Structure 1
Amino acid sequence: MSFQAVFIIGYLLITIAIGVYAAKKVKNSRDFILAGRSLPLPISTAALFATWFGSETILGSSVEFAKGGFLSVIQDPFGGALCLFLLGLVFAKYLYRMQILTFGDFYRNRYGKKMEFIAGICLIFSYFGWVAAQFVALGIMVQILFGINQFTAIVIGACLVVFYTYLGGMWSVSLTDFFSINLHYCRSCHRII
């Protein structure tokens, strides 16, 4: 087994341990969905960055840039970054003050239960592609490192992510994102964790 494979297995075990640790912080649905609205700024920033610029952006955009140059990556990641910036600048403070848990709550408060249901369905379908891209990127990496077929690798990766997210909700996601981004930063600066 290669060094990279050992490193990935260790990384996944640490990620699951972080999920188990995060589960201790969850006391109610607000803790599960929004981490109790009490994430420190560095952890919140890491989670936001990792959500918008995940593995599909890192792997997919680099391939698109290699094929077509700068213009082929205007939509992702630069369009996504602009959208994130505008959302924060224009809407974030307003939405935060509403004390809502989901975007569906916003539509219910503003337009009623029927629109909440319709918006929820639209949001679910909009996330299929995004989540699928994350799992495919993870599956490709696992396939390359361990030599298993891509479908099996995607299923294994999805099960691990769903498991630690199920344990601690947003706490798990945020803490594992923070760990991952700091690990990447330390590796790119040639520092030892």
Structure 2
Amino acid sequence: MIYVITIAIYLIGLVIIGFFKAKQIKTQSDFSVAGRALTPWVLVGTMLATWMGTGSILGNAGKTYQTGMAGLWLPLGSVLGIIILTQIAGKVRSYNKFTVPEIIGERYGQVARLLSVIALVLAYMVIVSYQYNAGGAVLHTIFTDDSGVSAISVETGTIIAAVFIILYTMLAGLLSVVYTDVANGIIILISFMIAIPIFLVEAGGFDGMQIAFSEMGKPEHMRFFGVYSFIDIINFCLPGFLLIMGDANMYQRFFC
């Protein structure tokens, strides 16, 4: 029951933030880029929550569970992408635009702008859909009883997640999104700060993990090198690198 109450408070809180911030929307700039007036701390919070999403937390965690320490290769491409983005953020902001296609159109013409719009629409149909689906999976898991039966199917949970996300986004655009991101970022950080020490203690530290994996016949789970080939590492890192380099979410934060 505590999980149900917590989730209900969280979802209602998102909508309340949206309603509150909707009163501040006066122009397209307010809706699209939060009036270009976000403080550094708010930007840090929204960029943290923007990237620490379904793929980073659930996807990488699942793969790391399968492969062990070598799973730490997975976020490397994204980290490299973020480092490069810090070098171009100022240039991107100087264009004073609302979207990435606007910049592409200004530099390369309207055909390039149209192609970038099509690419972004297709990409975000996939990206947004799996975020909704992840929300549905979380709700399905939370509402599962001891017998393994859930009161909410993944499909129903996906619809609930989509409705709440679309609602608070429609209310105030990026202005509501960034502040819900800040709340999410705080929750993510606190959760990690609590969970990681507990995991380490329960596992008996790194020595305990090494012993446990050896007893399971999986000593390679404690190896960072030698598990994946160079090609495997490229295959893991390249998608994340390319995604963050072309992620309209990140560029939209630069415009703020």
Following superposition, the deviation at residue 186 of structure 1 comes to 4.3
Q: Indicate if the aligned counterparts of 1:65 and 1:73 stay in contact, CA closer than 8 A.
A: yes
Cα distance in 2 for partners of 1:81, 1:127 equals 21
Cα distance in 2 for partners of 1:78, 1:129 equals 22
Match of 1:66 in 2: 65
Match of 1:108 in 2: 105
Verify: 1:181 aligned to 2:215, yes or no.
Answer: no
Matches within 5 A, 1:42-57: 42-57=41-56
The structure with the largest alpha-carbon Rg is 2
For residue 79 of structure 1, give the secondary structure of its aligned residue in structure 2. Answer: helix
Following superposition, the deviation at residue 62 of structure 1 comes to 0.5
Structure 1 range deviating more: 140-149 or 159-168: 140-149
Match of 1:165 in 2: 169
Cα distance in 2 for partners of 1:39, 1:183 equals 20
Letter in 2 for 1:34: V
Following superposition, the deviation at residue 164 of structure 1 comes to 0.2
Following superposition, the deviation at residue 42 of structure 1 comes to 1.0
Where does structure 2 lack aligned partners over 5 or more consecutive residues? 144-150, 195-256
Following superposition, the deviation at residue 185 of structure 1 comes to 3.5
Q: Of the candidates 150, 155, 159, which is equivalent to residue 154 of structure 2?
A: 150
Identity rate, percent:
27
TM-score, structure 1 as length reference: 0.90
Cα distance in 1 for partners of 2:69, 2:23 equals 44
Cα distance in 2 for partners of 1:14, 1:31 equals 21
The 1:188/1:67 distance shift into structure 2, 3 A limit, reads closer
Q: Indicate if the aligned counterparts of 1:64 and 1:73 stay in contact, CA closer than 8 A.
A: no
Following superposition, the deviation at residue 156 of structure 1 comes to 1.0
Letter in 2 for 1:176: T
For residue 69 of structure 1, give the secondary structure of its aligned residue in structure 2. Answer: helix
Cα distance in 2 for partners of 1:73, 1:129 equals 25
The 1:70/1:79 distance shift into structure 2, 3 A limit, reads farther
Matches within 5 A, 1:86-97: 86-89=84-87, 91-97=88-94
Match of 1:83 in 2: 81
1:130-186 Cα offsets, whole Å, 9 max, x none, are 212211211111111232111111011011101000001001110001012223444
Verify: 1:137 aligned to 2:138, yes or no.
Answer: no
Letter in 2 for 1:133: Y
Cα distance in 2 for partners of 1:117, 1:70 equals 43
Match of 1:36 in 2: 35
| RMSD across aligned positions (CA) | 1.6
